[in-house]
Amino acid sequence: MDKSVNPDPWERIAQHLGVDLYLDLQPDPAGSTRGRGARRRHSLASALREAISDGRLGPGTLLPPYRSLAADVGLARGTVAAVYQELIAEGWLVARQGSGTRVADTPRPGVSAPTRSVRQTSTIDHDFGLGQPNPSLFPRADWIAATRRVLSDAPDRTFGPGDPQGSERLRNSLAGYLARARGVRTDPAHIVLTTSVLRALELLSRTVFGDVLAVESHGLPFHRAAVERGGTATMPVPVDGDGAAVDRLSDEASAVLLTPSHQYPTGVPLSPSRRARVIEWAGDHDALVVEDDYDGELRYDREPVGALQALNPDVVIYTGSVSKSISPAVRIAWLVLPPRLVEVVRATKGRREPDASIIDQLVLAELIDSGAYDRHIRRSRQYYRRRRDVLTDALAHAGVTIPGIAAGLHAVIPLPSHDEDTVFDAALRRRFALAKMSQYRHPDTSIDDSSPSGLVVGFGTPPASSYQADVRALVSLVTEYL
């Protein structure tokens, strides 16, 4: 039967019940001379005034129809209707034909205005913050269309508890996509979906990492913190113009975490000889290599650097996410695991994962399968290439050369180590959002003249309306101290 023609009687009733509203109806104090009906009416009116005064019912809030509220609080309909009329007369509420009864949005004499949420005034004039793509590029139309398709086609079981490894459809789609776009060698059975790379590292630290994990001397501090929370100590490996110096890996380490396609934050790729060397080290020491391919798709001037995982899928754990390619608001990441590690990671992950959305996973799979994800990546690549060129051209005109910027969403502006703090402090005074290299340095890293230093700026973040002005301000800041 078509419910749109003959709706369920309970649905007809529910349409008139209105919103839920919690009210604490206090009894009159002892000795009150009011009758029972008057007491109940006074209690309801006082509770509504209090809820409006303390901000629980903000301006414009729709109240339930009086019939619905009467049923909820156990009062006569006439009593609730009279209270509504009383508060309308006092200016607490307003009633308009067709829009119901709402909390008034005008101040009332002698009553403090409800507390409202106010957006903080920005203290940033030039936002070169790191770690996110430009939010204006989010593929809204594609996302909406894909959501409509997957919700229309999904069987009912989709909305029940799912597989601990994540959506089978997305794992199938990812296996194909990662193979053709990044050269990853895997299949859906060896992929485990998580909400973020951070979550993936926490999971690995509780399962497959030993006592010591080697990490690049400069990298994301919160990644190191995630590993250390799992009980694994981290040990720095120096970074130079060829990436991590893997020939200096310690025998103590049972695994190493690398960003081989585009070292974070220096931007250099791991050289071919070092790629071969780290795979050899893992095989000789029965160790693991964890590859964080955080922005491997965003390349501009060179042939793509393929995934390290392809050299030996039995010793490399590959991880990535959509936080750079789509948005950090979409909580989807993945682990591509050697076959022997799948069951232990799956068991530790458990049946459920906080904030994981099967709907988002299905939408991403639809974007990949339909080709919309590839189109979005190409559009984003062109957009960021133009931004990168504006930044590098402006700095080059001022005599500043930027290394390691053939990919990604950030650039390092080299500075002598003794000037880094000075320029960074000046940037903060001028209300820039950016970072300095020393913020990414492992605390156990030895410092010498060869240590990378400078400002780290995210060129994807500034809004389009101010990007040219932001770049000019950045160039002015840097050249003032060089």
Per-residue pLDDT of the chain (482 residues; tens, 9 = 90+): 444 445 454 444 444 455 677 787 776 555 454 456 677 788 898 889 888 888 888 888 888 888 888 888 888 888 888 899 888 888 899 887 777 888 888 655 444 444 333 334 358 899 999 878 999 999 999 999 999 999 999 999 888 888 889 999 999 999 999 999 999 999 999 999 999 999 999 999 999 998 999 999 999 998 899 999 888 999 999 999 999 999 999 889 999 999 999 999 999 999 999 999 999 999 999 999 999 998 888 888 767 789 999 999 999 999 999 999 999 999 999 999 999 999 999 999 887 766 689 999 999 999 999 999 999 999 999 999 999 999 999 999 999 988 878 889 999 999 998 899 999 999 999 999 999 999 999 999 887 756 789 999 999 999 999 999 999 999 999 999 87
Asked whether 362 and 388 are in contact (CB, 8 A), the reply is no
Q: What letter would DSSP give residue 339? A: G
Q: In the Cβ-directed half-sphere of 377, how many Cα atoms lie within 13 Å? A: 20
d(CA 162, CA 346): 13
Q: What is the spatial distance between Cα 435 and Cα 309, in angstroms, rounded to a whole number?
A: 30
- What is d(CA 191, CA 201) in angstroms, rounded to the nearest whole number? 15
Question: 297: which 2 tokens?
Answer: 């798709």
DSSP symbol at 412:
E
The single-letter code of the amino acid at 461 is T
- Per-residue tokens: 444: 């156990």
Question: What is d(CA 41, CA 170) in angstroms, rounded to the nearest whole number?
Answer: 57
Pairwise CA distance, residues 445 & 401, whole Å: 26
Name the β-bridge partners of 77: none
Tell me the chain's radius of gyration from C-alpha atoms.
Answer: 29
CA gap 248, 256 in Å, rounded: 11
Euclidean distance between CA atoms 36 and 26, whole angstroms? 13
Token pair belonging to 317: 């754990």
**Contact in structure between 215 and 240 (CB atoms under 8 Å):** no
Residue 268 sits at the vertex; the CA angle it makes with 265 and 269, to the nearest 5 degrees, is: 120
